[in-house]
Amino acid sequence: MIMVILTGLLLIIVPIAFNITFFLLQRTFEYPDILRQPTEAILRRFKEGGPSLRRLWYAFTFSAILFIPVPIMVQQVFEPDAPWFLVIGTVIGVLAGVFQVLGLIRWPFLVPSLADIYTNSSSSQATRDSAAVTFMAFHRYAGVAIGEHLGYLFTSLWTILLCFAIIQTGIVSPLIGWLGIIPAVGILAGVLEEAGFKTAGAINAISYILWSVWLVSFGIVLLLR
């Protein structure tokens, strides 16, 4: 019973914390739209944000860290009747959280140093160019490849497997399972953005909001069952 309560609470807290910090980053840093601007503009804007922006990025990253135990706890709620594929899904879900953290953690720890170097009046042009190249390398590898591409893929797969487990076991209403598949597929569409599908980004963003609502709903249903 305690595990059910803790799991339900975490399913509610994590998406709310994630979306609040994301909204604040949108207002204070124009994230993620600012990523379409030149590196110079991004680093200078980050520097202007000061310590408060860095703390906000830390909070955003921490909300992703909080997600990592969620798949493990959810599986425990299904025990001893957890389907075999949910065990695989748990591993996938944990990796989804890890990928999200790896994609975000550069912002509170690496980017501040790069912004300081780039905006320092004593830095040479070669030094600024090196900082810009480093930023873009981590953005493409840690941000796009790991945080977004793998993060989207594994988050979607975990959600779909969890939904199938809900439908199969009836631990809560099967309707919860069917409804969760919709945002999961939308999140998966995000991996197509790099292939040139311009609407994939918008579909992914909307789906993440729906997915957050679904997680909160699942948490509430667990607490009330």
Task: Tell me the three-class secondary structure of 64-103, residue by residue.
Answer: HHHHCCHHHHHHHHHCCCCCHHHHHHHHHHHHHHHHHHHH
C-alpha closest to that of 60 among 93, 101, 116: 101
Encode the chain (225 residues) as per-residue pLDDT tens digits: 888 999 999 999 999 999 999 999 999 999 988 998 999 999 999 999 999 999 999 999 999 999 999 999 999 999 888 999 999 999 999 999 999 999 999 999 999 999 999 999 999 999 999 999 999 999 999 999 999 999 999 999 999 999 999 999 989 999 999 999 999 999 999 999 888 788 988 999 999 999 999 999 999 999 998
Number of H helices, E strands in the chain: 10, 0
* pLDDT of res. 172: 93
Residue 30's region, left for phi above 0, alpha for psi from -120 to 50, else beta, is: left
* pLDDT of res. 9: 96
Which residues, at least 6 apart from 176, have a Cβ–Cβ distance to it below 8 Å?
A: 163, 166, 214, 217, 218, 221
* pLDDT of res. 12: 97
**pTM, rounded to two decimals:** 0.94
